[in-house]
Amino acid sequence: MEETRLRLLHLHYANIGRRLVFRLLQKDPSLTYIYSQVDKLQKYYSIHYKYASILQKRLQNARSYKIFIQTMHQYETVTILDPFYPTILKQIKDPPIVLYALGNIQLLHQQPLLSVIGSRKPTNQGWEKVAHIVPSLVKNDWVIVSGMARGIDRYSHELTIQSHGQTIAILGGGFNHIYPLENKHLFQEISNKGLVLSEYTPNTVPQPQHFPERNRLISGLSFGTLVIEAKMRSGTMITVDQALDQGREVYAIPGGPFDAHTRGCNALIQEGAKLVQQSTDISEDWEQFGSTTFSHMTP
């Protein structure tokens, strides 16, 4: 098992796409043949010659392998083959193959978890809404999950720490390239007091497409997603779509009819999201059906 795990980590580090990795695992669960010559790779795995060539070239690069081994000693990892891998993430459509982790990895299996998301440029009322809801949840042992972006994400993490609670940040890039840069101190603080996760190798520079990918993990890891402020078209609404697709609860704090910053929230409520005025609006759902539904997802 350890050898297979190391091979899987090497595939991931070599930037082999998730679809191909899952295909290789399906054909060869122990990944025994991944270091074979191109012709054998092509034939055994039934893949195109181009992909077999890329696979061989990346996996047989001696310099890259040396850096890979050094990286594995620097960071904690959880692979989809590990018993510790969160069951809740295995149930989403496109689960991560590997998670790099810094901090308290036990938080992956703590319940309940709630993702808190919203505008990168919140209004004054947006800040007040976070301050009204998050500390109350933290007081009742909720773990707050967010993406360490500017605005609502950052403030949710900060308030959780200030309230002596637990928080998980999921990044859209590698640990060596924190974005936005002004959150580097927050990254270090969460690493020490909570948990930081990324499905990207430490040297991966954040790219625009990484953030929608990252968002599926923010929603997928949580019992529900709370939207503080959101315009009709925003990254926040993408996360909501993913939460709904994953069968997660969606909560929204309403705003005035003339406020563009909360039109997304109001629309979500019209479409069936639960209107939240206080933290108990969320806690009641957890007590009523969430704790039972999610109990089998914790080892």
Whether the pLDDT of residue 138 is over 70: the answer is yes
Whether the pLDDT of residue 290 is over 80: the answer is no
- Domain residue extents for the chain: 2-74, 103-295
| SS3 label, residue 175 | coil
Check: CB of residue 155 under 8 Å from CB of residue 130: yes
Whether the pLDDT of residue 243 is over 70: the answer is yes
pLDDT at 297: 59
60-110 tens-digit pLDDT: 999 999 999 999 999 999 999 999 999 999 999 899 999 999 999 999 999
Residue 298 pLDDT level (bands cut at 50, 70, 90): low
Four-way CATH pick for 103-295: 1.10.1060.10, 3.10.450.750, 3.40.50.450, 3.40.309.10: 3.40.50.450
Picking from 286, 289, 250, the residue whose alpha carbon sits closest to that of residue 117 is 250
Euclidean distance between the first and the last CA atom of the chain, given in angstroms as a whole number? 20
Whether the pLDDT of residue 210 is over 60: the answer is yes
pLDDT at 161: 98
What are the contacts of 56-65 at 24+ separation with CB within 8 A?
58/14, 58/15, 58/16, 59/10, 59/11, 59/14, 59/34, 59/35, 60/35, 61/14, 64/13, 64/14, 65/10
* Stretch 29-51: mean pLDDT: 93
**pLDDT, the chain, mean:** 93
Percent of the chain whose predicted confidence (pLDDT) is above 70: 97
Rounded to whole angstroms, how far apart are CA atoms 137 and 283? 8
Whether the pLDDT of residue 20 is over 80: the answer is yes
Whether the pLDDT of residue 299 is over 60: the answer is no
Whether the pLDDT of residue 258 is over 90: the answer is no
Check: CB of residue 206 under 8 Å from CB of residue 172: yes
